[in-house]
């Protein structure tokens, strides 16, 4: 049975993506998640290159890994010095990791123009570096940088660099498509040619500049490589690296090559979203396999068919990778869409066609004036529950007022006053904020927090405003989308109005009430479980 090893470089190559900067604590959290996922090798970065990586390699030694081996990254020795005297190689040897990955030149133009050395000296740099690290008891990975470009220019020399590493004892020879421009059929041809001349195990490291990184990795496996390098969510410089969140299920579910256990595979979606949060990047909803929309169905005809046969409208069972099939409600919705969506929420509408028709017509009307429920599942759930008369009222608004004052000194002050009934009492609260929505949010929280203390866990994470008809200028309808969370899950809400503050209020109230409603359900379920036990 073919065995493929997974090599994750999120902490090194992935961190080279713009806007990503992992702290030491972040990197340690990611290591734990990758180990749980079943990744065999985790590349941690450059030991000794900077204080952050130095601290990381010191602290990661205290983590007891169950599945993964830590690998430190560096380069071959510098030209014209001994391997044992090279600072980078000494740092690799002293990193405390089980393995070391060194990058070396394979493309003659890089050797002659960038390194400014001879082709023979480059071969010595490779062999000396590998031999030194092997003498320290490390598992050694030789990353053949720009291998496919180098092979195209001078195949004999590109092979010679691999031979130099192989003869020195390298455990893995990794073929790198560093520019990311090689196409799958070219990858296949080159890997098969290399396989004829090299006995050592081969790996593949692909970049996504031509949108082929995942395809190239899979084709390379079919051509004979036994290690795949990549990153979670495809993070990496420029256009990114091979996305392990696509590579793993493709190998396991499409090609039948088990790279992780079935139980670990079910963690894939969770790990993808966890690492996106650590990276402070919103999860990409349309990402294959693990995206929120990867198994979402919108059109009415399509969702009607899904109800009858789920397998006919999904290329895999999403539960195998920890994802779910969703029904998205929009103006394209049919009756079956509403029934399926209600089922997701624990509501059975299958025997109430009159209610389904009424809800469907009202949703289409709301979408016509600017609502966009596929981006606001929480508001949709609230709408359905209110339509069916099963929605709890958390408070009743009497009025609110927002005042903005711009002073002569340039300072802007916004104040919101709110009057409402909550817990059987009438409450008036005032708060200042850095804008009308922030002021309203603070005033509302002050008014109801004594009755709903769990409100403290609900935070507004994102706030988006879109003008729907620009031609109307300041009188245009505005759509507001709010994303909120409680540390365990996130949800989206929506408001639409010609008045931006009113639209914001709608989305804000939905976000808070949805959080309170699900907190209440969770607490009730927990109480019932405790009572039964």
Using an 8 Å Cβ cutoff, are 99 and 138 in contact?
A: yes
Structural domains in the chain (count): 3
Query: Is residue 406 in some structural domain?
Result: no
317 and 220 both lie in a single domain: no
Residues 312 and 254 in one domain: no
How does pLDDT run across 505-524, given as a tens digit for each residue?
A: 999 999 999 999 987 655 55
Residue 533's pLDDT band (cuts 50, 70, 90)? very low
pLDDT at 374 over 70: no
Both 152 and 234 in one domain: the answer is: yes
pLDDT-derived band at 278, boundaries 50, 70, 90: confident
Shared-domain flag, residues 272 and 319: no
Question: How many angstroms separate the CA atoms of 235 and 337, rounded?
Answer: 35
Nearest to 240 by CA among 207, 283, 285: 207
- pLDDT at site 327: 62
83 and 146 together in one domain: yes
> H or E segment at 230?
strand 227-230
Same domain assignment for residues 98 and 30: yes
Least confident of 237-246, 385-394, 421-430, 482-491: 482-491
Dihedral-angle region of residue 176 (phi above 0 means left; psi in -120 to 50 means alpha; beta otherwise) = beta
- Reported as a single tens digit per residue, the pLDDT across 53-69 is 999 999 999 999 999 99
Rounded to whole angstroms, the Cα distance separating 169 from 424 reads 78
Say yes or no: 303 and 224 in one domain. no
- Number of Cβ within 10 Å of residue 358's Cβ equals 14
173 and 252 assigned to the same domain: yes
Cα gap 216→222, rounded to integer Å: 10
* 387: in domain: no
Of residues 270 and 280, the one with the higher pLDDT is 270
User: pTM for the full model?
Assistant: 0.70
Query: pLDDT tens across 444-454, in order?
Result: 999 999 999 99
Print the domain residue range for 245. Answer: 5-278
Residue that finishes a domain, picked among 332, 367, 402: 367
Residue predicted with more confidence, 372 or 486: 486
99 found inside a domain = yes
CB 135 within 8 A of CB 83: no
Residues 6+ apart with CB under 8 A from 451: 395, 422, 423
pLDDT of amino acid 463: 85
Q: Mark whether 269 and 313 lie in a shared domain.
A: no
Domain for residue 419, yes or no? no
Percent of the residues in the chain that have a pLDDT greater than 90, as a whole number = 66
* In a shared domain, residues 229 and 336: no
Last residue of some domain: 278, 304, 333?
A: 278
pLDDT at 380: 86
Instruction: Determine the Cα angle at 9 with ends 80 and 264, to 5°.
Output: 150
Based on the fold, state whether residues 247 and 171 are members of the same structural domain: yes
Query: In a 3-state reduction of DSSP, which class is residue 243?
Result: strand
Whether 332 shows a pLDDT value over 70: the answer reads no
CATH number at residue 481: 3.30.160.340
Per-residue pLDDT reduced to its tens digit, 219-262: 999 999 999 999 999 999 999 999 999 999 999 999 999 999 99
Residue 413 DSSP SS3: strand
* Of 278-292, 362-376, 468-482, highest mean pLDDT: 278-292
Do 254 and 305 belong together in one domain?
no
Answer with the one of 325, 347, 367 that is the final residue of a domain.
367
């Amino acid at each position: 049975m073919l065995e493929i090893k997974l090599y994750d470089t999120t902490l090194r190559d992935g961190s080279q993506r713009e806007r990503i900067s992992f702290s030491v604590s972040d990197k340690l959290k990611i290591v734990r998640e990758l180990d749980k996922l079943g990744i065999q090798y985790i590349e941690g970065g450059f030991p000794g290159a900077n204080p952050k990586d130095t601290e990381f390699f010191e602290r990661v030694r205290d983590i007891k890994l169950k599945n993964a081996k830590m690998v430190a990254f560096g380069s071959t020795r510098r030209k014209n010095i001994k391997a044992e005297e090279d600072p980078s190689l000494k740092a690799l040897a002293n990193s405390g990791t089980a393995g070391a990955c060194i990058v070396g030149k394979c493309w003659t133009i890089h050797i002659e123009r960038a390194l400014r050395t001879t082709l023979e000296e480059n071969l010595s740099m490779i062999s000396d570096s590998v031999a030194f690290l092997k003498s320290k008891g490390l598992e050694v990975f030789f990353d053949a940088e720009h291998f496919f470009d180098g092979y195209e220019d001078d195949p004999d020399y590109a092979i010679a660099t691999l031979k130099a590493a192989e003869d020195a004892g390298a455990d893995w020879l990794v073929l790198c498509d560093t520019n990311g421009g090689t196409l799958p059929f070219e990858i296949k041809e080159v890997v098969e040619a290399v396989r004829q001349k090299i006995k050592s195990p081969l790996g593949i490291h692909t970049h996504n500049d031509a949108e082929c990184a995942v395809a190239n990795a899979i084709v390379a496996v079919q051509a004979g490589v036994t290690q795949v390098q990549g990153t979670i969510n495809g993070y990496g410089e420029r256009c990114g690296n091979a996305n392990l969140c696509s590579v793993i299920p493709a190998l396991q579910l499409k090609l039948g090559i088990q790279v992780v256990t079935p139980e670990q595979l079910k963690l894939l979606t969770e790990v993808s979203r966890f690492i996106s949060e650590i990276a402070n990047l919103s999860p990409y909803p349309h990402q294959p396999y693990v995206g929120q929309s990867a198994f979402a169905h919108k059109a009415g005809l399509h969702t009607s068919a899904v109800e009858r046969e789920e397998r006919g409208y999904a290329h895999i069972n999403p539960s195998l990778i920890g994802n779910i099939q969703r029904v998205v409600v929009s103006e394209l919705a049919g009756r079956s869409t509403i029934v399926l969506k209600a089922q997701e929420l624990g509501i059975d509408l299958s025997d109430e066609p009159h209610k389904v028709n009424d809800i469907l017509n009202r949703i289409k009307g709301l979408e016509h004036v600017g609502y966009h429920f596929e981006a606001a599942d929480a508001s949709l759930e609230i709408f359905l529950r209110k339509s069916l008369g099963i929605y709890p009222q958390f408070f009743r608004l009497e009025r609110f007022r927002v005042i903005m004052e711009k002073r002569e000194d340039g300072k802007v002050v916004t104040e919101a006053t709110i009057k409402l009934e909550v817990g059987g009492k009438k409450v008036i609260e005032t708060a200042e904020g850095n804008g009308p929505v922030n002021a309203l949010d603070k005033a509302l929280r002050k008014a109801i927090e004594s009755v709903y203390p769990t409100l403290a866990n609900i935070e507004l994470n994102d706030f988006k405003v879109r003008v729907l008809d620009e031609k109307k200028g300041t009188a245009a309808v505005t759509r507001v989308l709010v994303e909120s969370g409680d540390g365990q899950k996130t949800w989206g809400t929506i408001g639409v109005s010609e008045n931006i503050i009113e639209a914001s209020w709608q989305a804000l109230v939905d976000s808070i009430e949805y959080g309170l409603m699900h907190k209440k359900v969770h607490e009730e379920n927990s109480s019932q479980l405790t009572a039964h036990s």
